[in-house]
Amino acid sequence: MAYSSLEQCLLDLEKNGELVRVTETVDPYLEMASIHMRVHAAGGPALLFEKVKGSPYRAASNIFGTIERSKFIFKDTLSTVQDLIALKSDPLKAFKHPFKHLSTGLAAIKALPKKNPWQQPVLFEEIAISALPLITHWPKDGGAFVTLPQVYTEDPDQPGIRNANLGMYRIQLSGNDYILNKEIGLHYQLHRGIGVHQTKANAKGQPLKVSVFVGGPPAHSVAAVMPLPEGMSELSFAGVLGGRRFRYTYVDGYAISTDADFVITGEVYPFENKLEGPFGDHLGYYSLQHPFPLLKVHKVYARKNAIWPFTVVGRPPQEDTSFGKLIHAITGHAIQQEIPGLKEVHAVDAAGVHPLLLAIGSERYTPYAPTKQPAEILTIANRIFGTGQLSLAKFLWITADEENKLSTNDIADYLQFVLSRIDLKRDIHFYTHTTIDTLDYSGNGLNSGSKVIFAAYGSVCRRLLNEVPNCLHNLTGFSNASMVMPGILALQTNSFSNYENAALEMEALNQQCIGQLKELDGIPLIIVGDDATFMAAHLNNFLWAGFTRCNPSHDMYGVGAFTNFKHWGCSGPLIIDARIKPHHAPVLEFDPMVEARVDKLFEKGGSLYKTT
């Protein structure tokens, strides 16, 4: 059904057993986030918090907590949106099958935003920031944040809704040096449309008007995170996905989403920043304090009986994992159609998404050559590193599978496929001194670090071992050799101190292994960490710690490593130093006292008893 409000969606979820009302008074400082994460981890329902301490407004979370619930919310429009995305990639489909796509064309009418000067529920009352549910998610967070915002800006050179950008960029409502009710923080990262708009406004020497929509029909939140094809408007997408045209008006020169639950308006002035953060983020660490744009609040609006939606991010999987699955279900093969030869690409959620990409491409360049070696997949890899948010990837594994039996979704099988074929002397390719994800602190500065491609193609060249080789049981300076999976072994050593000592430590490991190359051939990858038992206990532990804590150019070594005409390779196992470094952001940890209080809310007799 076409939901006209967030509450209408929540009532529908409740009717179908997908929502629970939390009737106890809950503290927005850590408690609400803790409850959300427990319920989400259990695959539980959406939550409606009816009594939020310190605020007159209700709050809702875990709305998109499972892919099944997300598909239920958009059950009447999902197939139409999938068809539209496909048509955008291949417009000739409409001409080849006109009757099949007739309904899609009619649904596209919903893509036209509708100016709504008469019905404006969100303008019911004007409030202050301090009246909102000021939710703090993690103990070291700098303050309260909006985690499901829809941040709207217009192109200063072409003002109006037709050239607007709607994105989900976190908003800090309180804390640090922000003046409560007058200033809030606006955090956005690389490859975001708002950056283009602010650059143009700065060049004109004028402030950029910003509207932050919170709540409203759930399609609006999804639209704000969608990686849409070039030229497709987020507002148009929201209308089609929601089955209801995006309704808007203007007040004091600011765009207003009239169906939203809350709207915050304000201006960002050229080169006026304040420290934003820390914030417990989706990599499982805190993103630290950095200067980000300061939004000077103009007005805050709320609809009658407004509901504040929020989510919680942390070490994956969290609710944003389901967002990713929904995006994949919607976009289908759009990326593959954009990058010739690409069959699959998987941003690994357990590794924090951007740190690790797995891809399958094609090898069609030299079918006449008797030797199989990476060629086309290297071209595809470069194209991946130049495409939208895929360009933020840090580790890219890519191969070709002529039999079409391999899947990037079976991560363990995929990694073993590549490791059994990779030529460690030839198939490792570095990009140094380049941009990486803003939230990744493994590099040598904000947005700065390195990337690496593992490109393997050809016949199996080694049999992967699933037991620890004898030569690795009694190493000096390294201990607790543990198998992560066939071909991947974890070791632990002293805590990381500095890169000079790390080089000496890894050289000591190299010297102990260099004479054992034959025995070590079935172990192409060694992960050195702070706790090898943790690394080997679960695939997700390896994916998370192994790839979020490594800057490829600085933290990769190899047994028998060499550089030949600026190409790096190694004769024996590749070594990744995945220890926590002093410059890394802190790992997210729960507050024991808060957890004890939350335990009581889940006791028998409470509204949360049956949610987990």
Same fold, 319-456 and 470-577: yes
- Tell me the one-letter amino acid at 238: A
What's the pLDDT score for residue 107?
A: 66
Closest by Cα among 494, 482, 513 to 577: 494
Q: Whole-angstrom Cα distance, residue 396 to residue 390? A: 10
What's the pLDDT score for residue 392?
A: 87
Contact predicate 236/263, CB 8 Å: no
Strand 290-302 to strand 262-276: parallel, antiparallel, or no bridges (unpaired)?
Answer: antiparallel
What's the pLDDT score for residue 408?
A: 95
Q: Which CATH architecture has domain 6-73+112-310?
A: Roll (2.30)
Given strand 479-485, what is the order of strands in its sheet? 479-485, 488-492, 525-529, 574-577, 556-558
Copy the structure tokens of residue 344: 């699959």
Mean pLDDT by 10 residues, the chain (612 residues): 94 97 97 97 97 98 96 90 66 42 62 87 97 98 97 93 91 97 88 81 93 97 82 86 94 96 96 95 94 96 98 93 85 77 92 93 81 91 89 94 92 97 97 87 87 95 96 94 97 97 97 95 97 97 96 97 97 97 95 95 87 88
Cis amide leading into 45 (omega within 30): no
What's the pLDDT score for residue 231?
A: 64
- Tell me the one-letter amino acid at 502: A
Prediction pTM value: 0.91
Q: Which CATH number fits domain 319-456: 3.30.70.270, 3.40.50.300, 3.90.79.10, 3.40.1670.10?
A: 3.40.1670.10
Q: Whole-angstrom Cα distance, residue 159 to residue 62? A: 35
Helix (H), strand (E) at residue 125: strand 125-127
Copy the structure tokens of residue 86: 């496909």
State the virtual CA torsion across 280, 283, 285, 290 in degrees, nearest 10: -70
Distances (CA, A) of 167 to 183, 222, 418, 520: 20, 10, 36, 48
- CATH fold of 470-577 reads UbiD C-terminal domain-like (3.40.1670)
What's the pLDDT score for residue 297?
A: 98
Domain ranges for the chain: 6-73+112-310, 319-456, 470-577
Cα–chain center distance at 574: 28
Q: Whole-angstrom Cα distance, residue 513 to residue 520? A: 8
